[in-house]
Structure 1
């Protein structure tokens, strides 16, 4: 394995808008300087949010570099404070690479692409994390980087470890299901994507980066979370625990998530444009194709099956649809929808409602709406779009802080959980659900019939009376 004194002269420093000067390991730089990683320059983190928040144009490229930096900060802090953990240089490099490559598999407009593929090919059950591991394999092979990894002391088991940190598998109870590292190093799997508590460096970076570009203030301090993190055995498995005095800081972190979701990610107009863009992609699916390996040309929803083809798929797919010279009716309809987005002629928001209890499902309201369309109306079920908005702190209706293990200054190896009852300043509930109904038609009679339908459906289901919007005098200028 190459000694640090040999490779430190090849480090590179990046100036980051969130973290300032970031110095990266030369192997990370080798990964960055590949077409597969450079593709992330052309995929927006916040998808269609930039149609509503004009400065929200940051990309997966800088986010991944930020996560790599924070992953290194946390793992090095643990190594320095607790040498008994036996964190090796290979461990540190693997954690950095997992942070760097964790989003390689995102498609155009990030999470929106997952929604599109799930609608177009529900049988795939496609998730971007799985695609990230496949793209990582392809990146290594296409750029002959396996030998470069070996120069820095990384073996096949380390590559497995990196992929396991990117896409975690579910274990069976107490059985250890990972191959990259033994149970004694379980805490390393909590740094990039923490499935136990939700406190991880991926969230720290995107909370801070998104809030900066959205112009929305968040108040949590990740520096203190790093400073007061400690690995302690919990139920015979080492976990990253937090000092008890940082409880409010942890609440602030989860509250930041809710604020960003409520204000930006689930913004009414963002959701409208999301649905319009997904409709356009569904219409264009079979008519826009990408060349993959062995000369196969893949339709949009299948491009993720071939990493060679997927490398060419970015946010530029919108312009590819608009500039395509095909004249199939579906393709022309896709172009019409995209043109409407750019002209701000959006689907109309009929109204929204909150269920009286959490047993009301998306399927319940969809079926109720279809049953309550007036008999003499030209409105059809295809004119209606139902969106379900869930605002929570990251653990559905649970208090996420109750998932975290804390320790006290006087007992640094003893953990406990802090219950909601210990503070009166936390919310009574940790989740709310909202159903929004949109109308694809801009005709006033259909819009009004959609409102009648929504009110009747809410009455049938015993839901609260919906808030209904006014019909705009022109196309929806929102």
Structure 2
């Protein structure tokens, strides 16, 4: 029997450290109980049902802007109609990006429903096209439930809350929102007594373990090796093509249209999905004729990071939001259902406390009147009124910054500026006033080509997997699969310190042969003051510029006072150059 084989496999697995602690104990309890065959259609592994879980006659219809009308299975509706799941309505997908992109106000609630729908659609496609794999309704519902619950553990402001915890509690183990998702799902099952309902749809304790494994993207005991492909649907550790990524890419691009993409194109790709055994490992493969659509998904993801997620304005907005939370944490308190007060960083100690948190914490900070909250309120007002930290410069995108340590770079830049400001003792500068934002742009797999990890099939042989490269479908591979950049900001308006920081950053970059950009959108490169031959003219965009402008510009780079007292830095020089280029008039 299937469950007995699982129990035997668990004997060697149970002591392994690879089993997540969130459900290792439950596995032990499951082993201790006698193995019982499943009733009805699932008594024998792989006994398929003729029903389609996507069109249940008692399902609930939800109109989704990405996927159209979704019929939600009654079992999933029982999870959706709980306070734990409804909390996701008040957690925005893009966190503080809403302050930069006003249309980015969609939430985790709709995303989770979309992921669940795509997950079940993908399972039903394989189930329909390959009945020999014996995919059951229990498989489909378990995968759909994993997609529905995979983001239950997100805190307020989504991923920004995770970054806040890393900075506020650097000595503690990094927080895992997936583990909290599993804990909340267990709380829903227990508090709503959903186990009888689960059993009525032929899902038992081992299926719940399977759901938890799906959320982690790691196969242990939930399903046999022949169904390993099911673990690539919600969280695909092999190549990143999973329904979670598909939904958030299309949903984010729809709500913040900085990148053009059409969700219906990938629906066609899902309709071609097949499970194929590749090197004794069952994987999800797609029709070779849709390889270019999959590549477009990776390319769209990178563009979203460049234009949306890590956009200069958005990245700075998130940095300010982190500073707001850090300033507020010591003084902002909440009262849990047990009457106990707690802070943001203490919310993880109790699930009921954590469940109270959502994006409303921003309103609580705004409406607070305690004198201790003034720093956080003032920062929030700056964010609301677009009085953000001052952009100074950034490095051009390169393949690698050599494992840059931002904390050390901040100290080095501050030391160089303080050394230059010795003549101005009245000016004070703190390391914490310097802001560095590290940006990374890749195609989903770091320095690796994600297309190399995807298997395809040709219509002439549906059971043989093949590999494809970008050249196979007329697309040029990028020069680098991963590019990095670092941007420099200052929290105040002191022009002198800003210019000194810019010069210090230029010297740091020149030592590493990096280009410095003065424009946050990568439009104006600021090259070194000398080319390889030592020619100063290499930096100047037009030969007709007067010697006075040249001299002023070189004085700035050489840390000397410019002849023109009105010129304070490169921005002033570039402003004169821009005016000259626009009017085509030689500067006086």
| Greater relative contact order structure (CA < 8 Å, 6+ sep) | 1
Aligned partner of 1:347 in structure 2 is 389
In the alignment, the residues of structure 1 paired with residue 248 and residue 103 of structure 2 have an alpha-carbon distance, to the nearest angstrom, of: 15
Aligned partner of 2:118 in structure 1 is 70
SS in 1 for 2:508: helix
Please say if residues 219 and 253 of structure 1, whose CA atoms lie closer than 8 Å, have aligned partners that are also in contact.
no
SS in 2 for 1:375: helix
Is residue 2:236 matched to residue 1:187?
Answer: no
The 1:148/1:10 distance shift into structure 2, 3 A limit, reads same
Worse overlay, 356-365 or 32-41: 356-365
Aligned partner of 2:563 in structure 1 is none
Please say if residues 72 and 95 of structure 1, whose CA atoms lie closer than 8 Å, have aligned partners that are also in contact.
yes
What count of residue pairs does the alignment treat as equivalent? 463
Rg comparison, structure with higher value: 2
Deviation at 1:168, TM superposition (A): 3.0
Aligned partner of 1:172 in structure 2 is none
Aligned partner of 1:459 in structure 2 is 510
1:264-304 Cα offsets, whole Å, 9 max, x none, are 11111111110111011011112223344755433102313
Aligned partner of 2:437 in structure 1 is 387
Aligned partner of 1:143 in structure 2 is 192
Is residue 2:268 matched to residue 1:268?
Answer: no
The 1:57/1:355 distance shift into structure 2, 3 A limit, reads closer
The 1:62/1:56 distance shift into structure 2, 3 A limit, reads same
1:27-70 Cα offsets, whole Å, 9 max, x none, are 11111100010000001111122222221111111111111111
Please say if residues 372 and 453 of structure 1, whose CA atoms lie closer than 8 Å, have aligned partners that are also in contact.
yes
Please say if residues 336 and 342 of structure 2, whose CA atoms lie closer than 8 Å, have aligned partners that are also in contact.
yes
Deviation at 1:227, TM superposition (A): 1.8
1:178-235 Cα offsets, whole Å, 9 max, x none, are 1211211111111111110111111111111111111231257211211221100112
Aligned partner of 2:403 in structure 1 is 361
Write out aligned runs for 1:5-404 (5 A): 8-122=56-170, 123-169=172-218, 177-216=219-258, 217-219=260-262, 221-292=265-336, 295-328=339-372, 331-354=373-396, 357-363=399-405, 365-366=409-410, 368-377=412-421, 378-404=428-454
SS in 2 for 1:239: strand
**RMSD of aligned Cα (Å):** 2.3
In the alignment, the residues of structure 2 paired with residue 257 and residue 5 of structure 1 have an alpha-carbon distance, to the nearest angstrom, of: 32
Return the match for 1:448 from 499, 505, 511.
499
Aligned partner of 1:417 in structure 2 is 467
Worse overlay, 135-144 or 433-442: 135-144
In the alignment, the residues of structure 2 paired with residue 257 and residue 193 of structure 1 have an alpha-carbon distance, to the nearest angstrom, of: 16
Please say if residues 394 and 516 of structure 2, whose CA atoms lie closer than 8 Å, have aligned partners that are also in contact.
no
Worse overlay, 246-255 or 283-292: 283-292
SS in 2 for 1:396: coil
In the alignment, the residues of structure 1 paired with residue 241 and residue 398 of structure 2 have an alpha-carbon distance, to the nearest angstrom, of: 31
Worse overlay, 380-389 or 301-310: 301-310
Structure 2 length-normalised TM: 0.75
Structure 2 residue runs of 5 or longer lacking an equivalent are: 1-38, 41-48, 422-427, 521-570, 573-588
Structure 1 length-normalised TM: 0.91
In the alignment, the residues of structure 1 paired with residue 243 and residue 353 of structure 2 have an alpha-carbon distance, to the nearest angstrom, of: 30
In the alignment, the residues of structure 2 paired with residue 290 and residue 104 of structure 1 have an alpha-carbon distance, to the nearest angstrom, of: 20
Is residue 2:483 matched to residue 1:432?
Answer: yes
SS in 2 for 1:153: coil
In the alignment, the residues of structure 2 paired with residue 218 and residue 362 of structure 1 have an alpha-carbon distance, to the nearest angstrom, of: 34
The 1:193/1:434 distance shift into structure 2, 3 A limit, reads same
Deviation at 1:368, TM superposition (A): 4.0
SS in 1 for 2:417: coil
Aligned partner of 2:544 in structure 1 is none
Deviation at 1:237, TM superposition (A): 1.6
Deviation at 1:463, TM superposition (A): 2.1
Please say if residues 414 and 429 of structure 2, whose CA atoms lie closer than 8 Å, have aligned partners that are also in contact.
no
Worse overlay, 294-303 or 41-50: 294-303
Deviation at 1:255, TM superposition (A): 0.8
Please say if residues 153 and 177 of structure 2, whose CA atoms lie closer than 8 Å, have aligned partners that are also in contact.
yes
Worse overlay, 40-49 or 304-313: 304-313
In the alignment, the residues of structure 1 paired with residue 355 and residue 314 of structure 2 have an alpha-carbon distance, to the nearest angstrom, of: 26
In the alignment, the residues of structure 2 paired with residue 392 and residue 9 of structure 1 have an alpha-carbon distance, to the nearest angstrom, of: 43
Please say if residues 107 and 314 of structure 1, whose CA atoms lie closer than 8 Å, have aligned partners that are also in contact.
yes
In the alignment, the residues of structure 2 paired with residue 153 and residue 285 of structure 1 have an alpha-carbon distance, to the nearest angstrom, of: 46
The 1:301/1:36 distance shift into structure 2, 3 A limit, reads same
In the alignment, the residues of structure 2 paired with residue 127 and residue 294 of structure 1 have an alpha-carbon distance, to the nearest angstrom, of: 25
Please say if residues 243 and 409 of structure 1, whose CA atoms lie closer than 8 Å, have aligned partners that are also in contact.
yes
Worse overlay, 307-316 or 357-366: 357-366
Structure 1 residue runs of 5 or longer lacking an equivalent are: 170-176, 472-478
